[in-house]
Structure 1
Amino acid sequence: MCDLLNRGLGATAFKGMADRRTFLRAAGAATLTLAVPPGLIGGTALAAGTEITATHGAGFCNLNLFLSHVLNTVKEEGVDLKLITTPTFADEITMIGAGQIDVGIMPYTTFLALYDSGVPVKIVGGGGVGGVGIVAQPGITKPEDFKGKTIGTFQLDTLEIMAYDWFKKQGVNYKDLTIRYFDTTPESAQAFMSGAVDILTTIEPYGTIILKDKPGATMLSNGSDIYGTPFYSDCILGIRAGLIDENPKAIKALIKGMMEAQLVAEQDPEGTLNKLLGSYYKTDMERGKLAMSKQPSVIDARSQTQFILDRGQSLMEMGYIKRKPDASVLDWSFLEAVIAENPETFSKLKYKS
């Protein structure tokens, strides 16, 4: 999950840092819309043959994808992995929905909304797990403190869904909060540090560093108190469904390459960061190691199936989707085939289902 920051949280601390994920927001409206051009749903991707195009964010949930690209683990299978950087997350969703990009690492919440809108997409693997937190200003610690407070978050993001679920468990109506949506994590962190928001949904290592640099600030939740584990799904590996018939070899190659990358990252985190810091992540080794421990990138997300589907209820209650998703949005067959063909690699993984 998510972006890293430079040392300190001063006025310019986040300047130049990559954004976490740009949210989609309908202009002047409270409800998010998916801007998929008419007639393009389920189209043919720009990639063909042995090439596979992949879009991504900037966070550590993308680590396996980035490392597989650096190590050429996908190319070894005869498939050329082409990473596409879109101007905004809105563009990423539009291109996936239009079939112009083959695969993407993205929040499962957004992917479920695409599926609900009739876009032919499938979840075939995992991205990052955990790393989400809710921090509050000094003195804001219990339910009676929350009503009327301003919370900073990201629309239709896993951060917002976790906040909704947590406040619901505390007996607080989400509508009793003033919601302020942000475009980037650095922007939201600066707003919290300046006191512009009372509560903030954030990611590691932002949460840990905010608590260190903001005297009296508290971590209300890292999600483990409501989800039963600190390692719950944040991002997933999703594909346009047409790729299943057009280029199944590429899907397996990508999953295998990401599995091999995960093993390298788990066995040699410092060597991994030496390959990625600077080009993919603008941070230092200390914070890089912290982020990897707080939010592992895990290709095998089968154990997250029910968790992902259950969040559909929250998405419905918030008005983001019309129907609760079922297991048809997921296809673990390619992942399971890769596991069966590479038992030794899989057996060595630290994080798996």
Structure 2
Amino acid sequence: MCERCGNTYHKIQEASRRGFLKGGAAAAASLAIPAGLLSPGMAAAQGLTRIKATHGGGLCNLGIFLAKERKLAEADGVDLDFVVTPTTTDVVTLFGAGMVDVSVIPYSNFITLVDAGAPVQIVAGAGVEGCILIGSEEISSPADLKGKTIGTFQADTLEVLPYDYMTSAGMEFADAEIKYFNTSPELAAAFINGAIDAVSHIEPYATQCLQERAGSSILTDGLDLYGKGYSDCVLAARTPLLEENPDAVKAVIKAMMTAQYQSETDTAAALATTQGTYYKTSLEALTLAQSRQPVMIDQRNNTDFFVERSVSMQKMGYVKNTLPDSAVNWTLLEEVIAENADLYDSLNLKTAA
């Protein structure tokens, strides 16, 4: 656990969030590329373009998990290859340094990368909603947080949420004591065991916190602040890849859109595919949590939301500049939608026409 100690980009890089829910590979803390179903040579022999990707551990990553496990991009010539990263700090570092091609990443971490000059762009959505601020028994309003401890991850969507919650009520974020944690299980355990008074978490951990600490309640699930369908994580790509091989990026977007359709039409099967491998929780708990944080690939309606949240991050001291228009590029998403009208029309969650 690390206490709030200043808002600089280097400290953001040192912060971490959403430790993997899967055990063995993540616990090894290795940044090496794991052995996949296809070696690079085998992928090339089969005419596939290998795209290296990073991701987090929350339910906002369900779309890319399904795309990987069910090989949904292979029909369009892409082998999606995950690079193992123990924490989101490593996700941000590898993606920003150009060691991977694409990433499902919290919008907040993406904003810090852009502000630091990394050549990256949002190309599609990933997951929406599911950022939940939970208070212990004695906390039921923003005013009750004064002098209390809030656990979260630094420079994360989960820190922006309590900041917006408190400041929208006329309070200062400094009125509460912010404590930063390194992994999702650690953060959840701190709240459940009474080490902190409130917690800002993602699913499926938020549900776990509610179920296992008596008297706890939701202070905000983001819907009252941001509206339905607000973003948590996005799919971002390196600009050089967008220029050199846009079709490969389109294949990943289409695969994740297919994954969204599969998660909407057969949620049980989608969660069963990922439970154990990515999510160490019961299928019952995972199903309840997933209803609060669904997959949504077409997030064009969140363009202004990203800019508005970058204003919050600027006020928090994490970035010097607000998000430029050039950082959000829906061009390839719109091409995928146009080329796959039947698939797009079948989706429940999408930007309204």
Pair 1:90–1:264, CA change in 2 (3 A)? same
Match of 2:77 in 1: 78
Structure 1 residue 125, shift from structure 2 partner: 0.6
Structure 1 residue 29, shift from structure 2 partner: 4.7
Match of 1:323 in 2: 321
Counterparts of residues 186-201 of structure 1 (less than 5 Å): 186-201=185-200
Counterparts of residues 1-353 of structure 1 (less than 5 Å): 29-33=6-10, 50-229=49-228, 231-353=229-351
Between 119-128 and 278-287, the greater mean CA deviation after superposition: 278-287
CA distance in 1, matches of 2:125, 2:281: 24
Give unpaired runs (5+ residues) of structure 1. Answer: 1-22, 37-45
Pair 1:26–1:322, CA change in 2 (3 A)? farther
SS at match of 2:342: helix
CA distance in 1, matches of 2:297, 2:157: 18
SS at match of 1:80: strand
CA distance in 1, matches of 2:320, 2:211: 41
Structure 1 residue 138, shift from structure 2 partner: 1.5
Contact persistence 2:58–2:202 (CA under 8 A): no
Contact persistence 1:54–1:82 (CA under 8 A): yes
Contact persistence 2:4–2:180 (CA under 8 A): no
Deviations 1:291-342 (A, max 9, x none): 2211011111111111111101100000100011122111100000000000
1:170 aligned partner, one-letter code: A
RMSD: 2.2
CA distance in 1, matches of 2:169, 2:137: 19
CA distance in 2, matches of 1:220, 1:200: 10
Contact persistence 2:133–2:221 (CA under 8 A): yes
CA distance in 2, matches of 1:211, 1:254: 35
Higher helix share: 2
Contact persistence 2:151–2:180 (CA under 8 A): yes
SS at match of 1:243: helix
CA distance in 2, matches of 1:222, 1:26: 24
SS at match of 1:183: coil
Structure 1 residue 32, shift from structure 2 partner: 4.4
2:278 aligned partner, one-letter code: Y
Contact persistence 1:32–1:156 (CA under 8 A): no
Match of 2:20 in 1: none
Pair 1:203–1:349, CA change in 2 (3 A)? same
Contact persistence 1:159–1:201 (CA under 8 A): yes
Structure 1 residue 122, shift from structure 2 partner: 0.3
CA distance in 2, matches of 1:97, 1:28: 23
Deviations 1:211-256 (A, max 9, x none): 3332322211111121122x31000001111101221111011111
Contact persistence 2:61–2:104 (CA under 8 A): yes
Structure 1 residue 28, shift from structure 2 partner: 6.1
Structure 1 residue 165, shift from structure 2 partner: 0.3
1:166 aligned partner, one-letter code: Y
CA distance in 1, matches of 2:165, 2:332: 34
1:293 aligned partner, one-letter code: S
Pair 1:187–1:35, CA change in 2 (3 A)? closer
* Identity over aligned pairs, percent: 44
SS at match of 2:178: strand
CA distance in 1, matches of 2:141, 2:247: 52
CA distance in 1, matches of 2:206, 2:13: 31
Contact persistence 2:3–2:179 (CA under 8 A): no
SS at match of 1:92: helix
SS at match of 2:231: coil
Structure 1 residue 91, shift from structure 2 partner: 1.9
Structure 1 residue 143, shift from structure 2 partner: 4.0
Pair 1:199–1:274, CA change in 2 (3 A)? closer
CA distance in 1, matches of 2:277, 2:237: 25
1:211 aligned partner, one-letter code: L
Structure 1 residue 98, shift from structure 2 partner: 1.2
